[in-house]
Amino acid sequence: MKGDMMKNTKRFLILTGMSGAGKSVALNSLEDMGYFCIDNMPPNLFRQILVLSDYFFNNEDLNSYAIVMDSRANDFEGILGAIEELKQKTPFDVKTLFLEASTEVLTKRFNETRRIHPLSKKGTTIEGIEAERTLLEEVKQYSDYIIDTSYMKANELKKEVIKCFQPGNHDYFRVNFMSFGFKHGTPSDCDYIFDVRFIKNPFYIDELRPLTGLDTEVSEYVLQKQEAKTYIEKTVDLLQFAIPQYKNIGKSQVVIGIGCSGGQHRSVAISQYLYNYFKDTFSTNIFHRDLEKRKGN
C-alpha cells in the first residue's frame, strides 16, 4: 500500500508525437501548471533519468516533470525500454502523451508557417510526415494518452492538456469518438467500430451531397431515419455499460469509431450525436478523420 501511495505523489510525463501536432503548445501548458520541463532530450541522456530518479523524486520544490522526445531522437526502441524501466524501478507515476493530427492538417500547418518538416530534408513535406508516422507508430501504440489535434485550436489543446495533467489529477479518463470512411481504410486504434453504411446515404440527394454531417440539413436527414434511431439507441445502451468498464480496469481512454462509406455524412452526423450525448458524463473528444476528403461518400 505504501508503494502505491508513493507512486501517486509525483508524475513523470513523456511528451511525444507528430511534428506540427502541438508539442510546443502542450509543453507551454505543462510549464504554466508548474511542471519542470526538458525539451528535446537526447536519447543517450534519457537513461540518466533512472540514475537521477531519487533526486527528482525527493526534490520537495518540484512535483511534476515532463520530457519532450521527437522523431529526431531516432532511437525509440531504446527509449521505450528506458520508459518501462522508469515505470518499474522508480516511484513516479509515469505516463506517455502522444499528439497526432491528420496528414492533410499537418501539411497545411507546415505550409502556413513555411517550416521544413524535420524528416523531409530530401523530399516533400507529405513524404516527411508519412515517414515520421511510420517511425512513431510503435510509440503511439505504447502511449497512455493520445490526443488528436486535427480540429483543435491552440487554446483548445491547452485546455485538454490541463484537464489531463493538472497536478494531483491521477484519475483522468477520456472517451474519443472518431468518424471515418471505410473506403479510406479502417482505423487501427479503435476499441469499438460501428458500421452505419446500411443507413440511407445523403450523398445521393443532390442538395445534400456538397454538405457534411456537421450541417443541420444532413444531420436531420440521417438522424430522423427509423433505422438510425434504433441503431443509435442500441449503441448508446451498449456504450453506457461498456465505457465505465474500461475505466474500472484502469484504461485512460477508449476510442469509438463510427464508419460509413466516405466519412462525410452518416458517420459524421452519428458520431457527433454520440459525442453530444456523452459529453456531460465523460471527458470526451471528437475527430472527423476523413472530413477533409471531399471526394464524396
Q: Delimit the domains of the chain by residue range.
A: 2-172, 175-288
Model confidence band, residue 296 (pLDDT cutoffs 50, 70, 90) = very low
Task: Show Cβ contacts of residue 142 under 8 Å, excluding neighbours closer than 6 positions.
Answer: 80, 83, 96
Three cell numbers, residue 232? 443509435
DSSP tag of 192: E
Binding-site residue positions: 17-24, 70-73
The runs of H, that is alpha helices, within the chain are 2-7, 23-32, 43-46, 48-58, 76-89, 103-113, 125-142, 154-165, 216-223, 226-248, 266-278
Burial-class residue 283 by CB neighbours within 10 Å (0-12, 13-18, 19+): middle
pLDDT digits (tens, 9 = 90+) for 47-78: 777 777 777 777 877 888 999 987 776 667 77
Binding-site residue positions for ATP: 17-24
**Taking a C-beta distance cutoff of 8 angstroms, is the pair 35, 66 a contact?**
yes
Give me the chain's average pLDDT, please.
86
- The listed range with the strongest mean pLDDT (4-18, 96-110, 150-164, 243-257) is 96-110
> HSE on the CB side for 10, CA within 13 Å?
23
**Taking a C-beta distance cutoff of 8 angstroms, is the pair 231, 196 a contact?**
yes
Share of the chain above pLDDT 90, in %: 47
Q: Is the pLDDT of residue 295 over 60?
A: no
Model confidence band, residue 90 (pLDDT cutoffs 50, 70, 90) = confident
Model confidence band, residue 9 (pLDDT cutoffs 50, 70, 90) = low
Count CB-CB contacts under 10 A for residue 145: 19
CB burial readout 172-208, b (16+ within 10 A) else e:
ebbbbbbbbbbeeeeeeebeeebebeebebbbeeeeb
Burial-class residue 51 by CB neighbours within 10 Å (0-12, 13-18, 19+): exposed
- Which neighbouring-strand residues pair with 288? 179
- Characterise 185 by phi-psi region: left (phi > 0), alpha (psi -120 to 50), beta (else): left
Binding-site residue positions for GTP: 70-73
**Taking a C-beta distance cutoff of 8 angstroms, is the pair 293, 181 a contact?**
yes
CATH (one of 3.40.50.300, 3.20.190.10, 3.40.50.1360, 3.30.2270.10) for 2-172: 3.40.50.300
pLDDT for 223: 97
